[in-house]
Structure 1
């Protein structure tokens, strides 16, 4: 306990840390790790992490940077080369128009999101967050003393986010809208027309749109789209990117943001007082990832599409489980409502735990993402793992039906 007290009662932690919950994904990973340590072979669909190794040319760039002693502090927003690579890659692929002063390289895309929310969101603000949502949005917003306003989407409509639905939730307190397309966990991709309408509408009303483009390049239908393309509205747009999923660089912790100069400067202030900068050799590797051939991205995306179809085929063989067809990212989000309410499986959280302990399949319960009838499975794994995992799930749910 600390020495500080309030009205004679010892206070151990700050009030704001109580607004955070431990990441549900991290909890699942920890529980699975215990079983693995005990020698249990698991079909792991838990953490959203590419099964591919980081491409050779990216690793070589990092090794060369270390050998050349690029291991010291850099400018807080990142070296010139990496910011130029970010700006040029996004402009080439999406037609955006950012300068070097409108780009920052961060230690992960997650930290870029946290910096943006910290810089823009204040106590009493409202932030519109579509459901299902990535696990950290709610907690980050609440940590700032703001209120997440949840936009419930319809599974029957493939979790579609519409401009009309967002407009109905806007109040004088609305400060920002968070959009993640393709979506983690559902794999839903926002319609281009709706995305454009939301960006333009928000700009007209002075509301910021925080675009989490972590999976922007992992789309299976049409070309990748960015809200950063609507350059006349860029004053209220913050593009938040990550190299983790696009280039299989999760452990490198490489992310970035593109936004008007004042916003980037504010985010830079936060970075200067936290990490100071990202690792120099990681920035050099990022330059190679962004500037050199993008063939590796196309190859990984093609394999993810095959894995998606294999996962969907496996789920379709389990009676009473339904699943929307993901148009991007590398997750399936099956509805398991028919199996809930049973002893030991009252909720999707309990069901996921039983599936892990009895079926030896790692999933993440829907409660982590704001829904109560789903499990999230990441199919970013081997084809053999998908086949084995689907067979285990089929057997587990058959056993659960027989016990009813």
Structure 2
């Protein structure tokens, strides 16, 4: 057989598949409105672009140390101290080609065949796929709207077995926009005491929160600090998706060394220009622009939530962070793939089926686009839903 058993465990990303189909239809001249991509519609701040241009003009185009240049690692450490009151040495940090590579490195360095990884659903589509690729077993825990799409301490306790190696937490969440409060994290931390379970804390949307304070998982207690691997980046909050900048931090020297070794044999260092450009963002020099984007996302969220909840047959809870709505379509359909396929074909509106995130009866709607497009998209969805109800 040509292909490995390992590669055949992977499923294609539904979010990428829907975005690609929407782009293809648009290229064919069809009127398509895409709400499928997890990408800010804002440009990268000029201060960051200027730093990249400077790096190019100064010839900073050669290999660097695998985990990142010293001044960049110092900037990440400074950011974690300033924003999250977390103490990490530069040697506790590895910079990778986006948070996706950070997660890949972590899973490959820690998981063995048969290990169990607890993943609350709805989840980001990549988590279970990378866990399976590492030979481990995703243990999915369903959450619901009643608990704000967040796992409870009781659920966590019930899911832990002798094979549990890791818990994945995402706050703010893709796809629901839920954010764990300090009290909720403390309750989970209490369950994890006396275990050796690793916590992978994906905090990519940290800067995009609405009416709630963000709490870093590693900051809950010394015990959580020691067991938590913090994963973050600049793609979402600083509109740097294409720059490919992610990082992780852990006080476990052995773990950092293992991931450094893996990255040295896969991609080596990330783009040298990106490393220079990321420094001003990490040092807070574009915080005003981040706040401008956050405020715009918050206004869009409020408008989109209001409009969706006026549609007979649909409902959605307001997100606390990120730039997604997880829209309930259970009164209309329990086949989210078919619903989204028909919606795209009949109305030109692209959204992502909830089943791709582990929760049937929903679709994910990204409001990372202008308010006029959002209103028109929801108008088309409302018309589609009316037709479905009448059929």
| Same fold flag (TM > 0.5) | yes
- Asked whether the 8 Å contact 1:49–1:248 carries over to 2, the reply is yes
- For 2:291 and 2:147, locate their aligned partners in 1 and report how far apart those are by CA, in whole Å: 28
Unaligned runs of 5+ residues in structure 1 are 1-10, 342-346
- For 1:203 and 1:114, locate their aligned partners in 2 and report how far apart those are by CA, in whole Å: 26
Equivalent position to 2:317, from 320, 324, 330: 324
- For 2:194 and 2:211, locate their aligned partners in 1 and report how far apart those are by CA, in whole Å: 30
- For 2:206 and 2:200, locate their aligned partners in 1 and report how far apart those are by CA, in whole Å: 14
- For 1:256 and 1:125, locate their aligned partners in 2 and report how far apart those are by CA, in whole Å: 24
Deviation at 1:42, TM superposition (A): 1.5
- For 1:221 and 1:228, locate their aligned partners in 2 and report how far apart those are by CA, in whole Å: 22
SS at match of 2:117: strand
Deviation at 1:293, TM superposition (A): 3.7
- For 2:267 and 2:77, locate their aligned partners in 1 and report how far apart those are by CA, in whole Å: 22
List aligned pairs for 1:146-161, cutoff 5 A: 146-161=136-151
Cα deviations by residue, 1:283-328 (Å, 9 ceiling, x for unpaired) = 0011011112411111111110001011112212210111111111
Aligned twin of 2:4: 14
Aligned twin of 1:350: 338
Aligned twin of 2:273: 281
Unaligned runs of 5+ residues in structure 2 are none
List aligned pairs for 1:96-107, cutoff 5 A: 96-107=86-97
- Asked whether the 8 Å contact 1:86–1:290 carries over to 2, the reply is yes
1:307 aligns with 2:300: yes
Q: Number of paired residues?
A: 388
Misfit runs of 4+, over 3 Å: none
List aligned pairs for 1:54-73, cutoff 5 A: 54-73=44-63
SS at match of 1:178: strand
Equivalent position to 2:176, from 176, 186, 190: 186
Aligned twin of 1:6: none
- For 1:39 and 1:280, locate their aligned partners in 2 and report how far apart those are by CA, in whole Å: 38
User: TM-score normalized by structure 2?
Assistant: 0.97
- Asked whether the 8 Å contact 1:128–1:148 carries over to 2, the reply is yes
- Asked whether the 8 Å contact 1:96–1:231 carries over to 2, the reply is no
- Asked whether the 8 Å contact 1:199–1:237 carries over to 2, the reply is no
Aligned twin of 1:27: 17
- For 1:77 and 1:364, locate their aligned partners in 2 and report how far apart those are by CA, in whole Å: 34
- For 2:309 and 2:220, locate their aligned partners in 1 and report how far apart those are by CA, in whole Å: 39
Aligned twin of 1:5: none
1:256 aligns with 2:247: yes
- For 1:197 and 1:258, locate their aligned partners in 2 and report how far apart those are by CA, in whole Å: 23
Deviation at 1:231, TM superposition (A): 5.5
Equivalent position to 1:384, from 364, 368, 372: 372
Deviation at 1:199, TM superposition (A): 3.5
Aligned twin of 1:336: 329
SS at match of 2:187: helix
Cα deviations by residue, 1:108-127 (Å, 9 ceiling, x for unpaired) = 01110111111111111000
Aligned twin of 1:4: none
Deviation at 1:203, TM superposition (A): 5.0
Moved more, 126-135 or 41-50: 41-50
Structure 1 residues 203 and 92, CA gap change in structure 2 (3 angstroms): farther
Cα deviations by residue, 1:80-124 (Å, 9 ceiling, x for unpaired) = 111111111011111101001101111101110111111111111
- For 1:12 and 1:376, locate their aligned partners in 2 and report how far apart those are by CA, in whole Å: 36
User: TM-score normalized by structure 1?
Assistant: 0.94
Moved more, 290-299 or 21-30: 290-299
Equivalent position to 1:239, from 218, 224, 230: 230
- For 1:132 and 1:293, locate their aligned partners in 2 and report how far apart those are by CA, in whole Å: 32
- Asked whether the 8 Å contact 1:75–1:277 carries over to 2, the reply is yes
Deviation at 1:153, TM superposition (A): 0.8
Equivalent position to 1:296, from 285, 289, 294: 289
Equivalent position to 1:394, from 379, 382, 388: 382
- Asked whether the 8 Å contact 1:82–1:284 carries over to 2, the reply is yes
Deviation at 1:200, TM superposition (A): 5.1
- For 1:287 and 1:269, locate their aligned partners in 2 and report how far apart those are by CA, in whole Å: 24
1:47 aligns with 2:37: yes
- Asked whether the 8 Å contact 2:185–2:220 carries over to 1, the reply is no
